[in-house]
Structure 1
Amino acid sequence: MSSLLNKILLLTILVLAFSSINAEENTIKSYNQYNFYSGNFDFSDDKQKAILFGFQHQNEMLERETFLGNISPITGGFITENSAAYIYTGIEWNYDMGGKMIFTPSFAPGLYSEGDGKDLGHILEFKTEVQASYKISESSSFGLSYNHISNASLGDKNPGANSYMFNYLKNF
């Protein structure tokens, strides 16, 4: 089943990428960025690792320039092949590294349901993430990200989960 889901995700990414490359660039600033991602949930735990699929929205109308850089709100979620799910909202910092590279750390508290997957010890979990992206056009980027999810010892146990993802980011 995960093979079929991977093929569907890859096809979706390719269609979106080629449609954005061939389309005329819009001169009006886009205010919504969507991040479609897939990867390996808890890759460091051989017994619990699973394929994940996720979606994230960034509203650039609410972005702010601060002494830390450009900060904007994010909201998203993912589901694993074992029916574990996580929904979150938080903030991200976007650092233009010159040229076409962007570095994006983020922090987002959220709600976790283990499904048939890993028990992380609490419903409230915190996600910290770093992402490096490469712009392929004014409205599309590909990226690689790594995150850690932990309950900060709110529960009786706090095993945490480390994940990596491949990202397709699209501005609309």
Structure 2
Amino acid sequence: MKNNFYIKVLSTVILTIFSFVVSAEENTSEHEYNIYAGNFDFSDHKQKAILVGFQHQNEKLKKDTFLGNISPITGGFITENSAVYLYTGVEWNYVMGDKLKFTPSFAPGIYHEGDGKDLGHVLEFKTEVQLSYSISESTNLGMSYNHISNASLGDKNPGANSYMFNLLKNF
């Protein structure tokens, strides 16, 4: 049953990447969408699971600050074990040369374990770092790593470490 899930996720990601690259145009948009897939809690061999997710960033709400270019994000993911995390927060964008971008972020959110890992509390905090490479004016490919924790709000705080492959597209 897990193999069917992997095939569906991989097929969806490949078709999405293909459609985005084929439709690449000049970046005149106000919205950046991040579609990602990866491995939830890869450091816990008993609880690791495939995840797929989606994130939105409104380009019009970006602000230049002393910490760099900051903007709000909203998103969520689901794992193969039906765990769900919905979040909203902020990210900082640091352009490194012509093609690379480094993006750390922080996002509190609501977690439901489904048949997956019990993280100890419904309120969880996601810290993430992402490195992306521009393949066109409006499309980036990236890789990210995040840690989700409840900051000891619950009776337990096992946390979860995840990595993802990202497709970022401006519309």
The alignment's TM-score, normalised by the length of structure 1, stands at 0.94
Residue in structure 2 matched with residue 45 of structure 1 by the alignment = 44
Using the TM superposition, give the Cα deviation of residue 8 of structure 1 relative to its aligned residue in structure 2, in angstroms: 1.9
Bigger Cα displacement from structure 2, 113-122 vs 1-10 = 1-10
Using the TM superposition, give the Cα deviation of residue 9 of structure 1 relative to its aligned residue in structure 2, in angstroms: 2.0
Residue in structure 2 matched with residue 59 of structure 1 by the alignment = 58
CA distance in 2, matches of 1:115, 1:33: 29
Alignment RMSD, CA only? 0.9
CA distance in 2, matches of 1:30, 1:5: 27
Using the TM superposition, give the Cα deviation of residue 19 of structure 1 relative to its aligned residue in structure 2, in angstroms: 2.0
Aligned positions of 1:137-156 closer than 5 A:
137-156=136-155
- The alignment status of 1:108 with 2:112, answered yes or no, reads no
Q: Which runs of 5+ in 2 are unaligned?
A: none
CA distance in 1, matches of 2:96, 2:157: 35
Residue in structure 1 matched with residue 91 of structure 2 by the alignment = 92
Using the TM superposition, give the Cα deviation of residue 56 of structure 1 relative to its aligned residue in structure 2, in angstroms: 0.1
CA displacement, residues 92-150 of structure 1 (integer Å, 9 cap, x when unaligned): 00000112000000000000000000000000000000000000111000000000000
Tell me the percent identity.
73
Q: Which runs of 5+ in 1 are unaligned?
A: none
The alignment's TM-score, normalised by the length of structure 2, stands at 0.95
Residue in structure 2 matched with residue 133 of structure 1 by the alignment = 132
Matched position secondary structure for 1:115: coil
CA displacement, residues 24-75 of structure 1 (integer Å, 9 cap, x when unaligned): 425xx32110000000000000000000000000011111100000000000
